Amino acid sequence: MTHDPTFWLLARASGFSAYILLTLSVLAGLAVKSRPFRNVAPAAQTDTHRAFALAGLSMLVLHGGALALDQTVRMPLYALVVPFASTYRPVAVAFGILAAELMAVVYWSFSWRRRIGVRNWRRLHWLTYAVFAGATVHGLIAGSDTGRGWATALYVGAVGAVVAATAWRVLTTTPKAKGATA
C-alpha cells in the first residue's frame, strides 16, 4: 500500500496560506493607522484587516487538522495546542503553536475592545509582532519547503513588507497621534 500525500500537501499549502494571510492582516492593520490609502474609508480598511485575520485563523485550523490526519508527520491532537508536546521538531512547532494561540487572542480582542478599553486593546495588538515573528520562525525551522527558493522569497518578502510598513507608520505618525496609540 502506498502512502497518500493528500494531507501532507494540504498541511503545507494551508500553512503557507495562513502565513500569507497573517502577513496581509498585519499590513492591513498598519494601513488602518498610517492611512497610506486615503481614498479608502477607515471602516473598509478595518474590515479588510479583520477579514484577513479571520481567514488566516481558518487556514491555521485547516493546517492543524491536516497535520492531525497526515501519516507523514504523526501529530496527535494535543500536540497541536500544547507547546513542546510534538515529537516532530518540538521547538519549531512550539513557535507555531504559540503564534497561533496569540493570533487567536489578538483576533478575539476585537470583541473585547469595549470591556478591556481601547488603550489595553491597542497594547494587546502589539502582540501581533510576536505572532508574526513566531510564525516566521516556525515556518523557517519547521517547514519542509524552507530551502526552496520560492519559500525563501516568500519569507524575505513578508518580513521586508512588514518592516517597511512599520517604518512607514513610525515615520508618518504625528507626535500627537503617537501618544494616543501607545
* Residue of 60, 93, 57 lying closest to 74 (CA atoms): 93
Q: Tens of pLDDT along 40-55?
A: 787 888 899 999 999 9
pLDDT at 5: 87
Instruction: Give domain limits for the chain.
Output: 6-181
Does pLDDT of 2 surpass 70?
A: no
How many residues would you count in the chain? 182
pLDDT at 4: 81
On average, the pLDDT of the chain sits at 89
- Rounded CA gap, 150 and 84, in Å? 28
pLDDT at 40: 78
C-alpha distances (whole Å) from 97 to each of 54, 71, 77, 165, 182 are: 17, 20, 12, 25, 27
Percent of the residues in the chain that have a pLDDT greater than 70, as a whole number: 93
Please compute Rg for the chain using Cα positions.
Answer: 18
pLDDT at 177: 52
pLDDT at 1: 43
Q: What is the pTM of this model?
A: 0.89
pLDDT at 72: 81
Q: Tens of pLDDT along 6-48?
A: 998 999 999 999 999 999 999 999 988 777 677 878 788 889 9
* Residue of 107, 110, 165, 148 lying closest to 131 (CA atoms): 107
The region that residue 152 occupies, defined by phi over 0 for left and psi between -120 and 50 for alpha, beta otherwise, is alpha
